[in-house]
Structure 1
Amino acid sequence: MDEIRDAVLGDHLDAIGGLPVPGSYRAVVVREDEQGMFEGLPTRDKDPRKSLHVQEVPTPELGPGEALVAVMASAVNYNTVWTSIFEPVSTFGFLRRYGRVSDLTKRHDLPYHVVGSDLAGVVVRVGPGVNRWKPGDEVVAHCLSVELEDPAGHDDTMLDPQQRIWGFETNFGGLAELSLVKSNQLMPKPAHLTWEEAASPGLVNSTAYRQLVSRNGADVKQGDVVLIWGASGGLGSYATQLALNGGAIPVCVVGSPEKAEIVRSMGAELVIDRSVEQYAFWKDEETQDPDEWKRLGARIRELTGGDDPDIVFEHPGRETFGASVYVARKGGTVVTCASTTGFLHSYDNRYLWMNLKRIVGSHFANYREAWEANRLVQRGLVHPTLSRTYAMDDVGQAAYDVHRNAHQGKVGVLVLAPEEGLGVRDTALRARHQTAIDRFRDR
């Protein structure tokens, strides 16, 4: 790995194809024999620092249509948190099921799970049938893994029966010195970004793009009022940028004055600070408070000059979903993913059915959507929301901070990159957007 890293850092990318691939590498893993370690504990008390380990693992066999990537930097997503606390289920069930698909997928069914669904790095090897990419290419990876042997996946690859999220429902993820991906997960690394910046948008930017912009999601248009929960967080910070870029009117819900300052610096004018407004949508564990829904709706109309949201960008889930359905305008859309506060949603169906509203489920993105989302980053139209970068050995703390919502935007992880700030190719484009690139730093 040292030779490969030195070739990247020394800008000898043409030499990488001739370097030997090591038989093992360092990776962040959870272990199957520890999947019961948090049983009986409340979700909040489950600690990723105890379950995420950095260890040496064997390098997997490279198959047709695949690529092996040297990972310079990666990032922590909420699916890494779910994996680390074994909620809502242990991911080893995913790996066992994937291992039964074919002789080649048996590689993924292991007693350890290499996690991580983002990366920025350099292609080291490609398997048979890969023509678009070659060793030495600087890339980022999106996290959609598909087999594409079923006709259902050929209109929208997210509908493929064998659709999985790499590094969550498959093994050999991006929080490792080497990562195994399908070649159709690869996209060009934005040349004006550092390794850690380039690694941070992949999952959340693509997810927000499909959820908000794509025809498969809410299909936002100019002038739409979009209520964005968690607007300074991993998903919400990209939804806010995409709404502003598309001529929509974001109403940004945040949890502190500092977060309100961040979204205003992005150009959002309509902001609801929950730490000030003190909305309490649940009276107790079983009972919601419709008066609080109404209070939120009134506040939104006050900010917009009388308009209800055309679109509600939903991802908290249980805590907010009843309010989201209520506040959407007549004929409006609630588009939902993730459910980070709970998967079992409840709402008053009268406000949905009698007002002809829609609930649209959205999950990650297909290759075209991910490519289009990455192209916006490449062109400096959407910017990374990286707030802090951790060393690989500190990934447990990084996941713990995301679990406890003690972060802003996106949290990065240095892997083979020895320090922050490396990997920039286009200094002119970077200089034009430096303020926006740094907006979330050290928050």
Structure 2
Amino acid sequence: MPTLSEALLAGAPPEELERAALPEEYTAAYIRAEDAGMFEGVGDKDVRKSLHVGQVPMPELAPDEVLVAVMASAVNYNTVWSAMFEPIPTFRFLKQFAAQGGWAERHDLPYHVLGSDGAGVIVRKGSGVRRWQVGDHVVTSCVQVDDQEPATHGDGMMGAEQRIWGFETNFGGLAHYAVVRASQLIPKAAHLSWEEAACNPLCASTAYRMLVGDRGARIKQGDVVLIWGAAGGLGAYATQFVRNGGGIPVGVVSSPEKAEAARRLGCELVVDRSEIGLDDSIADDPAKVIEVGKRLGRIIRKGVGEDPHVVFEHVGRATFGVSMFVVRRGGTVVTCGSSSGYQHTYDNRYLWMKLKRVIGSHAANLQEQWEANRLFATGRIVPTLSTVHPLAEIGEAARSVQTNRHIGKVGVLCQATAPGQGVTDPVLRASIGEDRLNPLRDLHQVRTAS
């Protein structure tokens, strides 16, 4: 009898997948608790030194979980945070989760299997799983919620016990197998390859909630939306959602190569950071923040005729003060992160006297995830994959994101043996077209970092 991996790659039917024995160990990318202090006092916290790939024990499934054979995954910035042990080592999250007792205790281990994106095949399911079957092709929501918590039923992201899978939980997606709650599952778009499908869920759904969903900025036709990092993991999807919804995306990027990516994705105006004199040091100088904001405002008004209705924020400390200044009277700054630092400084007069709003946003609930996935399934939004690495090269893949050398999303092949596998609707794929589905793939090859 073939091994489970052999059966998967051969496209075996569900009954054969169920008969194949589960391996006692599997290959995964992980960090170790014993390394948590390795970067203390170190200037360059190079994640290639802390990320490991090796064998880990196969965990037992809870009744509401499935085991997904991960064909492909992707790097998110939370992988970088985990591997840098910042802002705190994620082992603290695992201990907090384990304190609930029961099945949660499995997560408190001396290693942490990372990864908050994934696409693959269900190979086992718990006794309480009803709507999914072995053999289903799925992608995974990055959010785990407690369905017995009242707030979850109003909005999954408002539950105190919601967690980001593979960051605040163990057994994540940068591995050959992953433990996933049934309430995380989303059907894989049939015309996408494994790596194309895997790169979308976390960033695309986050951008969807921020811009389109009822709890975000709720952009409308004609809205001018300023998007920081418009060629990055989040910004590349934000650009598409704005364009798809009839808005006017204005992107800020850090290189000519990224400017070209932003234009391909639909930005009507692209601004290089160097044009406005933006660097990380201006956050500590209020006068420079206003100066940069005025410069950016002039460029935007000249390019599209008016100030932004919405600013899409995720950079944080380096850009937040400028965002608060440049958004129009009554406009909205929506933020989901702070990759350049969490302590934001801004002139509050521009918030209260010009009646602006700030909306905090985090990931997306399952309904929003499904709504975003529908746009992929119909070809209206496309993957932003630029490069693909094998799992064995997770260190280099994560390093490219850490040093901001990437464009769009960085994919990782797990059990898939080559790019392009997993397409089950070639007719739809042909009708959309390879160029449309892969706007960034010929644009960028990640350089080896020193």
TM bucket (normalised to shorter chain) is over 0.9
1:16 and 2:17 aligned = yes
Structure 2 residue aligned with 1:382 = 381
1:278 deviates by 3.3
Judged with a 3 Å threshold, the aligned counterparts in structure 2 of structure 1 residues 280 and 72 are, in CA distance, closer, same or farther, namely closer
The alpha-carbon distance between structure 1 residues 277 and 327, as it changes in their structure 2 partners (threshold 3 A), is closer
- CA shift, 1:279, in A, is 3.1
Q: Which residue of 2 aligns with 1:122?
A: 121
Corresponding residue of 1:82: 81
Contact 1:281 / 1:292 at 8 angstroms: preserved in 2? no
Equivalent in the alignment of 1:293 = 293
1:152-199 CA-to-partner distances (Å, cap 9, x unmatched) read 221001011100000000000000111001001111111111111111
Do the aligned partners of 1:68 and 1:124 also contact (CA within 8 Å) in 2? Answer: yes
1:13–1:137: 8 Å Cα contact kept in structure 2? Answer: no
> Which residue does the alignment assign to 2:60?
61
Alpha carbons of 1:286 and 1:91: their partners in 2 closer, same or farther (altered >3 Å)? Answer: farther
Residue of structure 1 equivalent to 2:438 = 438
Uncovered stretches (5+) of structure 2, i.e. residues with no partner: 445-450
Counterpart code for 1:369: E
Map of 1:228 onto structure 2:
227
Alpha-carbon contact 2:283-2:319 (below 8 Å) kept: no
Post-superposition offset of 1:266: 2.2
Q: Give the direction of change, closer, same or farther, for the CA distance of 1:309–1:2 in structure 2 (3 Å limit).
A: farther
1:341 equivalent in structure 2: 340
- Sort the Cα spacing of 1:83 and 1:288 in 2 relative to 1 into closer, same or farther, 3 A: farther
The one-letter code of the counterpart of 2:53 is V
Residue 298 (structure 1) shift: 1.5
Query: Could you state the TM-score of these two structures normalised by the residue count of structure 1?
Result: 0.97
Cα deviation code 1:353-391 (max 9, x no counterpart): 001100000000000001111111111111111101111
Report whether the alignment pairs 1:302 with 2:302: yes
- How far, CA to CA, are the matches of 2:242 and 2:118 in structure 1? 25
- SS in structure 1 of the partner of residue 3 of structure 2: helix
Q: Is the 8 A contact 2:2 2:20 kept in 1?
A: no
Native 8 Å contact 1:148 1:162 kept in 2: no
Partner of 1:201: 200
- Cα deviation for residue 9 of structure 1 reads 2.0
Counterpart residue number, 1:362: 361
* Aligned partner letter, 2:302: E
SS at 2:102's partner residue?
coil
> Structure 1 CA distance, aligned partners of 2:372 and 2:185?
13
CA contact 2:144–2:163 (8 Å) conserved in 1: yes
Deviations 1:21-69 (A, max 9, x none): 1111111110000000000123xx1011110001211111111111000
Q: Secondary structure at the match of 1:299?
A: helix
Structure 1 position 440, deviation (Å) = 1.0
SS of the residue 2:28 aligns to: strand
Gap change, CA 1:283 and 1:359, over 3 Å in 2: closer
Asked whether the 8 Å contact 1:380–1:433 carries over to 2, the reply is no
| Paired residues for 1:93-132 under 5 Å | 93-132=92-131
Q: Does 1:171 align with 2:170?
A: yes
Matches within 5 A, 1:256-267: 256-267=255-266
Which residue does 1:28 correspond to in 2? 29
Displacement of 1:288: 5.3
1:5 is matched with which residue? Answer: 5
Structure 1 segments unaligned to the other structure (5+ residues): none
Q: Percent identity?
A: 55
1:264 CA displacement: 1.5
TM-score, normalization: structure 2? Answer: 0.95
Pick closer, same or farther for the CA change 1:194–1:284 going to 2, 3 Å.
closer
Q: Take 2:58 and 2:209, find their aligned partners in 1: how far apart are those partners? A: 33
Distance (Å, rounded) in 2 between the aligned partners of 1:420 and 1:34: 33
Count of residue pairs brought into register by the alignment: 440
CA change 1:392–1:406 in 2 (3 A) is same
| Structure 1 position 299, deviation (Å) | 1.3
Q: What pairs up with 1:182-221 in 2 under 5 angstroms?
A: 182-221=181-220
Q: Indicate the SS of the match to 1:331.
A: coil
Once the two structures are TM-superposed, the CA of residue 280 in structure 1 deviates from its matched residue by 4.6
